Structure 1
Amino acid sequence: MTPTRTRALAALALTLTGSLGLAACGSDTPGAAAPGASSAAYAGGKTFTLNLASDPGALDPQGSATSALFGLTQYAYDNLVSVAADGSIQPQLATSWTVEGSTVTLQLKDGITCADGTAFTAKTVVDNVTYVVNPDNKSPFLGVFIPAGTTASASGSTVTLKLAAPAPFVLTSLANLPMVCDAGMKDRSTLKAGTNGTGPYVLTEAVPSTRYTYELRKGYTWGPGGATTAEAGMPAKVVVKIVANETTSANELLAGTISAVQITGPDADRLTGAGLESVGMQALIGEQWYNQGDGHATADPAVRMALTQALDLKQLQVALTSGKGKPPTQLAALEPLGCVGDAVTGHVPSFDVAAAGAALDAAGWTKGPDGIRAKDGKKLSLTFIYPNSLGTGGGAAAELAVAAWKAAGAEVTAKQQTQTEASGAVFGTGAWDIVWMPLNVSTPDQVMPFVSGTTAPKGTNFASIDNADYLAHATKGMSANGSEGCKDWFAAEQALYKAADVVPFANNVVPTFVKGAKLSIIGSIVPTSIRMLG
C-alpha cells in the first residue's frame, strides 16, 4: 500500500507501491484490455518495458509488501479473487464463493497449472493460508489480507476458510493475497530471485537493482475476470528496469525505449505537454508516522503533537505534489473505496507554532543556546526518513519540514532512502523517529494491523502505536457488515489523528505514462490488461 507494505504504494509507488484496488482510465473488468484502441490496432510478439524507481528486493511475494514488489508480483502470481474498478468481486483462481458469518468457501477453477507445469490445488491454497497466518513467518499480509487466526481446509477443489471472527471486507482482502505453488512453498529460498506461481508470466531473468524479465505463458485462462493470455496484443515479454531518476525515465519514454513509467514529480508536466497518455491512480502520498518505541523521543505525546503543530501541512502538500494534490480524506484511499467520506478534515492538529513551543515547554523540553531543545540532558535529536519514490517533490517537502522542526527546537536529520531501505528500517532495525511512509489500502480494516497489535519486527505495527480509543471504535467496525461500519472506522481514524499517531497530509493522482501501449490499473498495473500497439 507506497509503505508501504500493502497495495501499495504500489503503492507509492504505489505509492504509494505496494500496493497497494485503484483504477482510473481502466476497464470495469480487471483483466480486460484497456480502452482506447481496437484489437486490430494491437501488435503481438512485442516487449513491454516498465521503469521502476526502486528495486523490489527479495521477490518472495508473501515476504514484503513494498509497492515495487507488489507490482512485480502481479505478473507471476494470482489471487483467489479479483476486484473490478467498480468494487465488485470477480473470479480469478476461484470461480465462485460464499461468505456466511466467519466461514468463507471458495470453489477453484478446473485445470489451473503452475509455471513449472504442476497442478494448483485446493491443498496448495490451504498451505498458503497456513504459511501467512503463522506469525513465525512474519508475513506482512497477516492481519492485512488474511485475518489472524484463520484456518483453512480443502475438500476436492473446494477451500473453506474459518475466520476467528467475521471480517467486514474479507473478499477484498483475499484479492490481494498472492498464491505460491507447491515447489515454492516447500523451498522459500527459490522465491528470493525466482518465481513459482500460476500467473500469466514467468520470471526468466533477475538482475537485482538493474532489471527483471518475464515471458508470457501459453494456455493461461484463469486471470482476473476470466482473462487469458491468448488475447491479441499481450506482450510476449515484460522487462522491468530499475531507474531511480525520474528525468532519465521521462527521457527514455519520450525516446520510445521504454513503454511506461510512474512519474510523481515535475517531469509529469513535460510528458503531458508532449502529448503522452497516462493512467492516473488516486493515492495517499503524504503520511507521517512517529516511532513510539522505547527510547525514542517521539514516544512522548507532547513531542508528537509539537512536531505536528510545527508543520504547515498545506504547504507540505503543495511542495510534495507540485501544487497538484488535495487534502486527504481517509487512510484507506485506494479506489474502489470500502468507505466513502471525509474522516480527516478538522481532526488533524492544526498548524500552530506557538502551541508547539508551549507543548514542548510544558513537557520539560527546554531550548539551549543553540536553539535545540533538551530534556534530562538529552537533546531532541531525531532521524527522519522518506522514500525516494516520492520524487523531487519529496525532497522539497522534506526540506520544509526539517526547517520547521528546527525552528521548534528539534534537530532533525533527513535521510532519503529506497523503498526497500525504508521498509527495512521501519519494520526491522527501528532506526528512525519520523517517517513519511504512505500506506495505501482500500478498506479500513487493512489499516488496523499497522496501527495496533504486535510491534515490529515481529509484527506490522511499526510505529508501536497503542491507542485504546482507536481499538474501541475499530472493534465496533469489525463487527459490522462491510460499509455499515464506516462511521465507527472513521471515528477510529480520528482517534489516531487526535493523538498525533498518524498524520495524513497529501493525496494526489499519480500518473503512469505510457507510449506504444494501453493498460489498466487497479491498485497496480493489471498484466492481462496490457496491449501493445502496432
Structure 2
Amino acid sequence: MKLTNLVAYGLGLCLIVTAGAGCGGPASSGPGEKQYADGATFTLGMSSDPGSLDPQMGAGSMLFTATQFAYDALLSVDGENGEIRSALAESWTVEGTRVELTLNEGITCADGHQLTATDVADSLNFVADPENQSPFLGTFLPAGARAGGDDGTRTVTITLQQPAPFVLNGLASLPIVCPSGMRDRSVLKTGTAGTGPYELTEAAPGDRYTYTIRDGYTWGPGGATTAAEGMPDTVVIRVVQNPTTTANLLLSGELNAAQVVGPEAERLDKAGLFAARTPALLGEQWYNHADGRVTSDPRVRMALTQALDLDQLRKVMTSGHGTPPTTLAANEPVACPGDSLSGALPEHDPGAAAALLDEAGWTMGGDGVRTKNGRPLELVFLYQNNMGSGGDAAAELAVQQWQAIGVRATARSQNETALTGTIFGAGDWDVAWVSLNVNSPDQLVPFLSGPAAPDGTNFAAIANPRYEAKVADAMKLPGAEGCATWLEAESLLVEEAALVPFANDLTRTFGSGAEFRTPGVLMPTSIRMLAG
C-alpha cells in the first residue's frame, strides 16, 4: 500500500493523508469584489508524479490532490467548523453499526453512466476487501464494513462490525469509482472513471496531466457545481520537482498554483502572491521497527530521539515559522483538539542517549562510530525532497547530532512516489521523515498498528500493546466523547519514541491569477480564475 499526507505538506503521506474537504466557494473576500474569467486554463504544479492514478490504491498527497478533480466522496467536511456536508449523498444517518446514505438524484459518471446505490456499494466493498490491500481500509472505511445498495430508494447501507466514532469523516475522504473502472482497474492507472467535476483527457506521466470540465455537475461538496463563474474549463497538472523553478513559474504566471515551502515560499510571500494556508504536521520522524533493522531496538530508538534537539530541528526545517505539534491528527478541522505530545516527547539529552547505546551493546570505536558484533551503527535516513532548503538543512543537522553519539547516518532525499515505494515496499530504511496528516485519530490506527507493510498499512511495523488497548477503549466511545482516550493513546507512542512528531507549520499553496481553498488538499470546485 502506498501513502503519502501520506498528505505532508501535501507532503506526503495524505501518508501523507490529508483528510476531509470543505464546501466549494472561492477564497475571495466576498461577492462582487473579484472579477472572474470563464473558459480559462488552471495550471497546478506538483513536486512529483502521482504514479498510478487508481484513487483507491494509493494515499500519497500528490495522488490525493489529483484524485479530487475526477472523483467524489459520499460526504464532505466543512473546513471551518468540521460539520459533515453533502457530496454524492444528500442525507445520512448513523445508528450504532448501521450507516445509511441517500444519494443525490441525477449523478452521472464521466462516461454518462448514471451512478446507482449498487455502484457505490460495489466501490466501497472493493476497499473493504482485505485482499485488495487498499490503504483506505481501516483509514477511511472501518475494517469489517460491508455495503449494500437499494437502487429504488438511492440508499447505500454500510454495516459495521462495531461502532466507528468518526465514520462520516472517513467517508468524506474516500473516492468512489464508477463501474467502468471497477470492471477493469487497469484503466485507472492512466485514466479516470469517476463522477467528479473534471475528467482526465490526457496523461503524460512524469510531465503533465490534463483534465476537462464536465457540464451538468451539481453534486459537489456542499452543493457546488461546475456552472459557477470563474471555474476553469481545463486543468493541467505539471510535474515540477525543483522548488526554485516552481516559484519562478508562479511569478511568471506559467503556474496558477503550487505548494512551496522554505525560503522560496518567503520570496513568494514578499511578492504578494495569494496563498491558501493550511495547518499541517510537517516534521514527523518514523523508525523502522521491523526485525533486523537497528531501530527495532527500543533503546536505539530512544537514544536517537534524545540525541536530537527537536526545537532546533523545527526552527531549521520551517525557517523559524514552525510551532511544536500538539496532536498526531492535526489536519483541520481537528476532530480531537488537545495536547497529547508536548509532555510526552523525550527531552534532548545526548549523555543519556550515549548511555542507552552503551547499554544496548553498541561500543564506541576509535573512528567515532559505534559497533556491535562487528556491525557498525549505521542508519538509512530518508526524507522528502519537496521540503525545500530548510528540509535539507534540518536533515544535515540531524545527521550531525547523531554523529556526536557515534551513529553514522546517510541522509537521502526522495520524491514522494519513491519514498512511499521504499517504506511500503522494499523496506530498506531505518529513519524516515514522513508527515502523515489526517483529521481524526481513528484514521491513524492502521498506520500505527496491525499488519506491517507490504501486507498492511503499518509501514513502520509498530507493535505497541498499550496503544492498541487504548484504541480499543476509545473505539467504544462515540465521537468526541472518546477524545481524551485517543489523546492518551497518542501520548503512549510518543513517550516511548515509537515515532517523533517535532514540527507543525502552515503549508502554503500559492496562487497566481487564481484563488482557491485548501482544506487539506486543493478543492477543485473552489478554484476561481481571476480576470485581468
Q: What is aligned with 2:252?
A: 255
For 1:98-497, list aligned pairs within 5 A. 98-156=93-151, 157-497=154-494
- Aligned-partner SS, 1:449: helix
1:75 to 69, 80, 98: 69
> Which amino acid in the other structure matches residue 26 of structure 2?
A
Q: What is aligned with 1:25?
A: none
Q: 1:183 to 1:10 in 2, by over 3 A?
A: farther
Q: 1:514 to 1:76 in 2, by over 3 A?
A: same
Q: What is aligned with 1:34?
A: 27
- Aligned-partner SS, 2:509: strand
| Separation of aligned partners in 2, 1:273 and 1:457 | 44
| Separation of aligned partners in 2, 1:509 and 1:20 | 16
- Residue 47 (1) aligns with residue 46 (2): no
| Separation of aligned partners in 2, 1:38 and 1:205 | 34
Q: How many residues are matched? A: 526
Q: 1:172 to 1:15 in 2, by over 3 A?
A: closer
Q: Deviation string for 1:445-479 (max 9, x for gaps)?
A: 01111010111001001111110111111111111
- Aligned-partner SS, 1:41: coil
Q: 1:203 to 1:10 in 2, by over 3 A?
A: farther
- How far the C-alpha of 1:126 sits from its partner, in A, is 1.1
Percent identity for Structure 1 against Structure 2 = 54
Q: 1:10 to 1:371 in 2, by over 3 A?
A: closer
| Separation of aligned partners in 2, 1:453 and 1:179 | 25
- Aligned-partner SS, 2:59: coil
Contact 1:279 1:513 (8 Å CA) reproduced: yes
> Which amino acid in the other structure matches residue 420 of structure 1?
T
- Aligned-partner SS, 2:226: coil
- How far the C-alpha of 1:519 sits from its partner, in A, is 0.6
- How far the C-alpha of 1:410 sits from its partner, in A, is 1.2
Q: Deviation string for 1:126-161 (max 9, x for gaps)?
A: 111111111111111010000000011111211110
Contact 2:19 2:170 (8 Å CA) reproduced: no
Q: What is aligned with 1:26?
A: none
Task: State the TM-score, normalized to the length of structure 1.
Answer: 0.96
Contact 1:516 1:532 (8 Å CA) reproduced: yes
| Separation of aligned partners in 2, 1:531 and 1:14 | 27
Deviating more after overlay: 34-43 vs 368-377: 34-43
- Aligned-partner SS, 1:494: helix
> Which amino acid in the other structure matches residue 323 of structure 1?
G
Contact 1:4 1:11 (8 Å CA) reproduced: no
> Which amino acid in the other structure matches residue 227 of structure 2?
A
| Separation of aligned partners in 1, 2:223 and 2:454 | 38
| Separation of aligned partners in 1, 2:15 and 2:459 | 17
Q: What is aligned with 2:7?
A: 8
- Aligned-partner SS, 1:183: helix
- Aligned-partner SS, 2:210: strand
- Aligned-partner SS, 1:344: coil
> Which amino acid in the other structure matches residue 389 of structure 1?
N
- Aligned-partner SS, 1:408: coil
| Separation of aligned partners in 2, 1:20 and 1:319 | 27
Q: Deviation string for 1:349-368 (max 9, x for gaps)?
A: 11000000000101111111
* Gapped regions of structure 2 (runs ≥ 5): none
Q: 1:460 to 1:168 in 2, by over 3 A?
A: same
- How far the C-alpha of 1:6 sits from its partner, in A, is 5.0
Contact 1:220 1:228 (8 Å CA) reproduced: yes
2:530 to 516, 530, 533: 533
> Which amino acid in the other structure matches residue 100 of structure 2?
T
Q: Deviation string for 1:491-526 (max 9, x for gaps)?
A: 101110122101000000011111111111111111
- How far the C-alpha of 1:5 sits from its partner, in A, is 3.4
Contact 1:92 1:224 (8 Å CA) reproduced: yes
- Aligned-partner SS, 1:213: strand
| Separation of aligned partners in 1, 2:303 and 2:449 | 23
- Aligned-partner SS, 1:522: coil
| Separation of aligned partners in 1, 2:267 and 2:477 | 47
> Which amino acid in the other structure matches residue 118 of structure 1?
H
Contact 1:8 1:440 (8 Å CA) reproduced: yes
Contact 2:382 2:411 (8 Å CA) reproduced: yes
| Separation of aligned partners in 1, 2:520 and 2:374 | 47
> Which amino acid in the other structure matches residue 38 of structure 2?
G
| Separation of aligned partners in 2, 1:525 and 1:54 | 16
| Separation of aligned partners in 2, 1:384 and 1:221 | 47
- How far the C-alpha of 1:258 sits from its partner, in A, is 1.3
> Which amino acid in the other structure matches residue 8 of structure 1?
V
- Aligned-partner SS, 2:482: helix
